[in-house]
Amino acid sequence: MELYFMGTNAGVPSLERNVTSLALRLFDERRTFWLFDCGEATQHQILRSPLKLSKLEYIFITHLHGDHLFGLPGLISSRAYQGGNTPLTLFGPPGLKKFIMTALEISESRISYSLEVVEHEGGILFEDESFCVESALLDHRIDSFGYRITEKDQPGKLDIEMLARHGIKPGPMYGKLKRGESINLPDGSLLHSTDVLGISKPGRIVTILGDTRPCEAAVQLAQDADVLVHESTFLHELAETAYTYHHSTTKQAAEAAKRAGAKQLFLTHFSSRYKYNDQLQQLEREAREVFPQSDLAREHVMYPILRHG
């Protein structure tokens, strides 16, 4: 599981940074990736990345401001040309479906794969045997949501040598033991999964927030997260400006991470006023004064999500 940022600028792109888009790469877990927000030119950023549109499974939109979704129509239309023929599901606030369908209809775009748009107002959006995704409303000028992705605990490794001694070969019996079930051995005795399974691996938690002022929902979504991605549009000297425009400062993002007990914080959504590297480093330094495990999100860098359990 890794994070890959394809846009870290707020509002408009610059020569150095694109507008908001972030991929959660799940190659080892399910051989796909999920996209969070899709600002203009996101499909161009994907072409410059190790990601493939054919592997895109879900898109989660935080809110309906243009710098977070203007890249959707082009990406959806182009996906099939890059081998993307599997179903694609979009999650986002009410109004997302109208935006997508209007753009595709007026442009007479033809989609050759199954496309589903799920509008929501928070709560649990998706759950299977491996992951659960839930959402909550933040504090922004329009409805803006944060997403909490919880990986379920993974069973430990099977003791292959012990199974071989019992005459158990790879197959359905392995699956039963991994699921925590017991099996009957050839001699009629019972073999419990706890006898042959190692220590389970704790699942990881990733929280990705949309644009927001400081709010309790952000802290709750980030509770004990291994990684928190939080907007930090301004240095804290512009806290009043941040409040006026319904955004957060670096210090406020760090305070949210600290309150939530998160393990790592990635800062993103930087104002275009911060053009140079030394200005961005100032954002990082300010956050680290409150929460030392703070890092600037850099575009086209693969960040592994570590297990902290």
Whether 174 is in a domain gets the answer yes
Q: In terms of domains, do 178 and 57 share one?
A: no
**Which residues carry out catalysis?**
67
Does residue 247 have a known ligand-binding role?
no
List of long-range contacts for 98-102, beta carbons under 8 Å, 24+ apart: 99/64, 99/69, 99/72, 100/72, 100/73, 100/76
pLDDT value, residue 309: 66
33-44: pLDDT as tens digits: 999 999 999 999
Q: In terms of domains, do 184 and 134 share one?
A: no
CA distances in angstroms from 107 to 71, 111, 117, 255, listed in the order given: 14, 12, 18, 45
Q: In terms of domains, do 169 and 28 share one?
A: no
Does residue 139 have a known ligand-binding role?
no
Does residue 211 have a known ligand-binding role?
yes
Residue 14 buriedness (CB in 10 A; 0-12 / 13-18 / 19+): middle
Whether 30 is in a domain gets the answer yes
Q: In terms of domains, do 131 and 208 share one?
A: yes
Q: In terms of domains, do 150 and 170 share one?
A: no
Whether 26 is in a domain gets the answer yes
Whether 27 is in a domain gets the answer yes
User: What tokens does 90 get?
Assistant: 């979009």
Domain CATH code at residue 12: 3.60.15.10
Domain that holds residue 179: 160-196
- What is the C-alpha to C-alpha distance for residues 307 and 309, in angstroms, rounded to an integer? 6
- What is the C-alpha to C-alpha distance for residues 168 and 140, in angstroms, rounded to an integer? 57
Whether 309 is in a domain gets the answer no
Whether 51 is in a domain gets the answer yes
Sign of the CA dihedral running 15, 12, 62, 47: negative
Q: In terms of domains, do 130 and 178 share one?
A: no
Total tally of structural domains belonging to the chain: 2
Does residue 246 have a known ligand-binding role?
no
Q: In terms of domains, do 111 and 183 share one?
A: no
Can you list the residues of the chain whose pLDDT is less than 50?
A: none
pLDDT value, residue 219: 98
Q: In terms of domains, do 181 and 44 share one?
A: no
Q: In terms of domains, do 64 and 115 share one?
A: yes
Q: In terms of domains, do 186 and 209 share one?
A: no
Q: In terms of domains, do 105 and 218 share one?
A: yes
Quote the pTM value.
Answer: 0.90
Token pair 């990635």 is found at: 266
Q: In terms of domains, do 264 and 206 share one?
A: yes
If you count them, how many residues does the chain have? Answer: 309
- What is the C-alpha to C-alpha distance for residues 266 and 208, in angstroms, rounded to an integer? 10
Domain-ending residue, one of 170, 196, 222: 196
Does residue 230 have a known ligand-binding role?
no
Whether 190 is in a domain gets the answer yes
